[in-house]
Amino acid sequence: MIDIHTHVLPGVDDGSQSMEESLEMLALAADSGVKTLVATPHCNIPDEFDNYAGPELEALFVRLDEERKKAGIPLRLCRGMEVFATEELPELLQNGRVWTLNGTRYFLIEFAFHEDPDFCDNVLRRCRELDYLPIIAHPERYYFVQDDPGIAYEWCRQGYGLQLNKGSILGRFGERPWRTAELLLQHGLAACVASDAHSPYQRSTHMGELREYLTDELGESYMRLLLEENPARILDGRELLGYEPIPFR
């Protein structure tokens, strides 16, 4: 499995708070069958988390990877960010202030839960015009997608990848995110599923239960698409695979 969304970089956001926690998160991921994991700290959240690309963040990533090797944790660690959508985001991408996913044209973008869908479309379009490829983090958690899942269908038709959260699918964020995640899966709109892990305790990097659930509910082929094939394509910068999206009536 490949997990493209984790808050495993220590001490920079509301995820791991220490190197020890980060190593425990990496070990949990590896034990559950994750072969590649992307560190995606929150970036560009006004008055909360900046975390723009630079020497300090790079040094922290390198240190975490070195500690991972010393601990003998058998997985590959890649760079990325969960970038909050603002008017300035396209310019931040263009100016190299954002870590894309493993250095590809793909990048992980999140919106405010109550955001105006027209604003979302505008930012996504401007990023795409600069030849960047958005992967939209946890669309099932946005209130406007819960109210109108047709928005997610249009995003998929525009060629944006949709990344669902493990916790939503397993019902750990409440009924509305769970129901919306189920709808998106049933309509063939999800490109991949990731942990969005924040600690070794809750919202962890362990992916075993999710793999079993997806296999039981959707079949092994769909599970592999969501947890292996498309995440690998994202990190290689290749075109996403998927089923024909089914519109909402």
Q: Residue 39's pLDDT is what?
A: 98
List, for residues 150-164, the tens digit of each pLDDT value.
Answer: 999 999 999 999 999
Q: pTM to 2 decimals?
A: 0.97
Handedness of CA 174, 206, 38, 223 (dihedral sign): negative
Q: Residue 233's pLDDT is what?
A: 98
Tokens of 243: 């089923």
AA identity, residue 248:
F
Q: Look over the chain and give the mean of its residue pLDDT values, rounded to a whole number.
A: 97
pLDDT, average across residues 14-35: 98
**pLDDT grade, residue 241 (50/70/90)?**
very high
The Cβ of residue 70 has, within 10 Å, a number of other Cβ atoms equal to 9
% of the chain exceeding 70 in pLDDT: 100
Half-sphere exposure of 138 (CA within 13 A, CB side): 25
